[in-house]
Amino acid sequence: MTIRYRTMQRIPFGHYGGLPLAIIASVLVGCQSAKNSYEPPPPPEVTVASPITKEVTPLMEENGMIEAVEEADVRARVQGFVESIEFRPGQQVKMGDVLFRIEKDQYQSIVNSAKATVDAAVASVEVAKAAVTRAEADALRTAQNLARERSMMEKQAGSQAQLDAAIAENDAAVAALKSAKANVQAAEAEQNRSEASLAQAELDLGYTEVKSPINGRISKTDVKMGNLVENGTKLATVVDHNAMFANFSVSDRKVLRMMEKARKKLRANEELSEPDWSSMQVYLKRETDESFGIEGVMDYVDQKGVDSATGTLGLRAVFENKHDKLFPGLFVSVRVPVGDPQEVMLLPEYAVLRDQRGQYCLVINDEQKVERADVTVSQVLSGWSVIESGVTLESTVVIDGQQRARPGIEVSATTETLQLSDDALMRGFTDDATSDSQSADAKPDETGADSADADDSGANDSDQEN
């Protein structure tokens, strides 16, 4: 077996003669140039503002349910077949509008019969009164005859037999008169009874037209034309939407606070003899509302007192409902001012962040660098945090761009002034605050850390490339 070895041949330098010398020269020159220099990115931009102070009235907020001030069932008052339905479901109706018509032939015939009975009773009364007139005439005649017979007896010109006959005749006439008068009373009583029957018959006839008991909107009905309805059958419901109740309950502690406020008003107003609960303003918010924009007044306090089972007191407020924003059965939030106004320091809720260490704000120091300031928030009111400690009115707090800021880094800050009206706090409007800052920015600094880490990562990559 023959093994052959193949050796590599050296290629002469002349075979590279096609490579341009200019390219080779440029590569050699590039290798000798200076390294690329790193330029840091500009400072991140943030929006800052200083806390503001406001007089805040302590508020009590509870959940409640809406109830119509006026709601009435439409019910049949007589038995019969439904001839017609005179409304559309949801239609606005007025008191007295005809909603249903029940077959009335039977009730019309009863009315006609009752009228005939009344006419007969009236005639009977007239006959009885005529009999009284005749009886009175007979009684008068017999009385005069008796007087004449007695006069003749005194003169000894008459007989005892004639006197006795006159007395008997007069007694009979008087008895007949009493009987005639009794017949008149009986006839009049029968007339009254027949007239009452006629009135009931006419009332039943009127009930064949089922009318709306109140003003409002009418519900749908499950009764169809031709259905037989009984006396008392529910046909529909009419609800007045012009005003609504909000029923809610408060704890006994909150009741005491409300009572204290009412007593202060009582002491300030000598004309009041007892606490005026109705003077308390109440604000309402639906689930989809951003503010407590519906205003009402306290209407009722449960007179049975605090429920021993739940430890709460039932309250009720009344609200105008001009634009049909409320409807029965709706769950709402109710806010009642309690206590005296207190001056507090406020920041937008989205300016306060939270992590495992607690709540904090990002503030800018004199060197335009970000610092962490742990804060204490006593409550959040209408999108504003009530700050107890941690920052001052001179602090510069980051309210927008928290995700771009991190403690220790330098930032470029744009200053804005926070604005807030008293009504905004009471009702919950937050439009007066800086609108550019959204709650999406008010997240823990993990987002900012990630962003900063990304910047650092990019910088490190640049260093590695260099």
Tens digit of each residue's pLDDT (9 = 90 or more) over 358-382 = 999 999 999 999 999 999 998 888 7
Q: Assess contact for 249 and 305: CB atoms under 8 A.
A: no
Which pLDDT does position 354 carry in this prediction?
94
Mean pLDDT of the chain: 82
Task: Quote the CA–CA distance of 60 and 334 in Å, as a whole number.
Answer: 8
pLDDT band at 13 (very low <50, low <70, confident <90, very high): very low
Which pLDDT does position 458 carry in this prediction?
42
Residue 292: Cβ within 10 Å count: 22
Which pLDDT does position 193 carry in this prediction?
95
Task: Quote the CA–CA distance of 190 and 125 in Å, as a whole number.
Answer: 9
Task: Quote the CA–CA distance of 434 and 419 in Å, as a whole number.
Answer: 7
pLDDT > 90? residue 159? no
Task: Quote the CA–CA distance of 330 and 448 in Å, as a whole number.
Answer: 41
H or E element, residue 449: helix 446-465
Helix axes 105-154, 160-207, angle to 10 degrees: 170
Question: Across the strands, what pairs with 210?
Answer: 100
Task: Quote the CA–CA distance of 166 and 146 in Å, as a whole number.
Answer: 5
By DSSP bridging, strand 52-56 and strand 80-85 are unpaired
Which pLDDT does position 268 carry in this prediction?
58
Higher pLDDT, 81 or 31: 81
φ and ψ of 320, to 5 deg: -70, 150
Higher pLDDT, 107 or 27: 107
**Once rounded to an integer, what is the mean pLDDT over residues 141-146?**
86
Which pLDDT does position 439 carry in this prediction?
37
Which pLDDT does position 262 carry in this prediction?
66
Task: Quote the CA–CA distance of 145 and 151 in Å, as a whole number.
Answer: 10
Quick one: tokens of 348? 């937008």
What is the share, in percent, of the chain residues with pLDDT greater than 70? Answer: 79
Which pLDDT does position 90 carry in this prediction?
93
Task: Quote the CA–CA distance of 43 and 357 in Å, as a whole number.
Answer: 27
Which pLDDT does position 438 carry in this prediction?
36
Q: Where are the beta strands (DSSP E) in 149-308?
A: 209-211, 216-218, 228-229, 234-251, 281-286, 294-301
Which pLDDT does position 188 carry in this prediction?
92
Q: Assess contact for 429 and 293: CB atoms under 8 A.
A: yes
**Once rounded to an integer, what is the mean pLDDT over residues 80-105?**
96
**Once rounded to an integer, what is the mean pLDDT over residues 7-24?**
48
pLDDT > 50? residue 466? no
Provide the residue type at 108 as one letter. Q
Residue 219: Cβ within 10 Å count: 18
Q: Assess contact for 445 and 351: CB atoms under 8 A.
A: no
Q: What share of the chain is helix, strand, coil (3-state, %, to 5)?
A: 35, 30, 35
Of 22-31, 163-172, 378-387, the range with the lowest mean pLDDT is 22-31
Higher pLDDT, 20 or 213: 213
Which pLDDT does position 437 carry in this prediction?
35
Which pLDDT does position 116 carry in this prediction?
96
Which DSSP category does 77 fall into? S
pLDDT band at 254 (very low <50, low <70, confident <90, very high): confident
Question: Across the strands, what pairs with 216?
Answer: 93
pLDDT band at 154 (very low <50, low <70, confident <90, very high): confident
Higher pLDDT, 279 or 143: 143
pLDDT band at 26 (very low <50, low <70, confident <90, very high): low
pLDDT tens per residue, range 261-303: 666 665 655 555 555 666 788 999 999 988 888 999 998 888 8
Q: Which residues contact 240 (CB under 8 A, 6 or more apart)?
A: 68, 69, 70, 71, 214, 215, 216
Which DSSP category does 421 fall into? -
3-state secondary structure of 462: helix
Question: Across the strands, what pairs with 335?
Answer: 61, 283
> In three state form, how does the secondary structure of 117-183 look?
HHHHHHHHHHHHHHHHHHHHHHHHHHHHHHHHHHHHHHCCCCCHHHHHHHHHHHHHHHHHHHHHHHH
Q: Which of 363, 289, 330 is nearest to 49 (CA)?
A: 363
pLDDT > 50? residue 461? no
Of 92-101, 117-126, 367-376, 445-454, the range with the lowest mean pLDDT is 445-454
**Once rounded to an integer, what is the mean pLDDT over residues 5-14?**
48
pLDDT > 80? residue 19? no
pLDDT tens per residue, range 302-330: 888 888 888 899 999 999 998 889 999 99
Task: Quote the CA–CA distance of 82 and 63 in Å, as a whole number.
Answer: 43
Q: Assess contact for 218 and 90: CB atoms under 8 A.
A: yes
**Once rounded to an integer, what is the mean pLDDT over residues 334-362?**
90
Which pLDDT does position 69 carry in this prediction?
94
Which pLDDT does position 60 carry in this prediction?
84
pLDDT > 60? residue 459? no
Quick one: tokens of 281? 């303003």
Of 23-27, 183-187, 202-206, 237-241, the range with the lowest mean pLDDT is 23-27
Q: Which of 252, 378, 347, 335 is nearest to 59 (CA)?
A: 335
Task: Quote the CA–CA distance of 427 and 282 in Å, as a whole number.
Answer: 10
pLDDT tens per residue, range 131-142: 999 988 988 988
Residue 345: Cβ within 10 Å count: 21
